[in-house]
Amino acid sequence: MKKEKQQFGASPKIAKVFIYLILALLAITILVPVAWVFVASIKENSEFYRNPWALPQGFHFQNFVDAWQTASMGDYMLKSVLVTALALFLLVIIALPAAYVLARFRFKSRAIWNTLFMAGLFINVNYIVVPIFLMLNNGDMFLRKATGHPFFLNNIFILALVYAATALPFTVYLLSGYFKSLAKDYEEAAYVDGAGYFYTMVRVIIPMAKPSVVTVILFNFLAFWNEYIISMTLLTKPELKTLPVGLMNLMAAQKSAVQYGQLYAGLVIVMLPTLILYMCVQKKLTQGMTLGGLKG
């Protein structure tokens, strides 16, 4: 044992320097590419043919105007905001009551639903996106025959509904975990006072769950905002796109038309909201991750 102490204790300074060195190395590997995108977003197109490490010659804000207007990132942004907000709203108003009842009421089919939602944690969206698409497509074909108006595909509301549905298992799991930890006394007191079930839930229980609800919103905001596979599959019309899908198009277009400046401006537009949100709530987010257990 003593030997080890000497082995390590003899050079604590060198060890410390080494530790700082590898920490700095990882921090640089993460920060430099992200910072580079910000720098590149104000470069002129011709600058991209020179050394990529060179600093920009001026502040070429036109990139952002082009990305926003010509590449319609503005429109995509609006779609993304709408879809994300709608999906979050649907998720919260649907998941909260369900989680509350599943956690705190005893009834016959309770075990079935709890098990089913738990199983849902293992269903990944990437597997089921094809059947979802086909199901909606079938619905549209039927509607086209019956009424002449397809409804399900290319519909922002349906996309938001699918987002909310796929986020349900994790959200219900996280929220009911919180509801289970509450003492029974709260409801009993409310019932004694003559409050009904609904009133008790909305006025007594849900306000207490606020921190958990915030965690749920944070995580799902990031998930919905960044999602692109479902969005790409269910919104097939070119004018209906969310930001990440629009960005993918820009990436593809960049290969042929070489609009680097626009592309990086677009990148900044996509990641800036998440970065700002993260800076504001980073503590809550990393705490929430451990509170909610594990989620890949």
- How many other C-beta atoms can be found within 10 angstroms of the C-beta atom of residue 189? 13
**Vertex 121 angle, CA 161 and 290, to 5°:** 105
CA–CA separation, 218 and 176 (whole Å):
17
* Among the listed residues 210, 180, 170, 209, the one whose alpha carbon sits nearest the alpha carbon of residue 293: 170
Whichever of 30 and 257 has its CB closer to other proteins, that residue is 30
Closest CB to other proteins among residues 68, 166: 166
Q: Which of 204, 217, 253, 284 binds other proteins (CB under 8 A)?
A: 204
Is residue 256 at the binding interface for other proteins, with CB under 8 A as the rule?
no
Q: How far is the CB of 254 from other proteins (least distance, A)?
A: 9
Of positions 78, 134, 214, 257, contacts other proteins by CB under 8 A: 134
Instruction: Report the phi/psi class of residue 258: left, alpha or beta, with left for phi > 0 and alpha for psi in -120 to 50.
Output: left
- With CB under 8 A as the contact rule, which of the stretches 62-70, 149-157, 176-184, 221-229 interacts with other proteins? 221-229
Min dist. Cβ of residue 180 to other proteins (A): 16
List the end-to-end C-alpha distance of the chain, in Å, as a whole number: 40
> Which of 81, 90, 85 lies closest to 165, judged by CA?
90
Judged by CB under 8 A, the chain residues 106 through 125 that form the site for other proteins are 107, 113, 116-117, 120, 122-124
Among residue numbers 46 through 85, which ones bind other proteins (CB under 8 A)? 48-49, 51-53
User: How remote is the C-alpha of 179 from its chain's centroid?
Assistant: 24
Binding to other proteins in span 275-294, by CB under 8 A: 275, 277-278, 282, 285-286, 289-290, 294
Indicate which single residue of 83, 164, 209, 240 sits in contact with other proteins (rule: CB under 8 A).
164
Segment lying near other proteins (by CB under 8 A), choices 55-63, 70-78, 147-155, 185-193: 185-193
Could you tell me which of 98, 156, 146, 153 has the C-alpha nearest to residue 129? 153
Closest to 231 in 3D by CA, of 216, 246, 251: 246
Pick between residue 59 and residue 122 the one whose CB is nearest to other proteins: 122
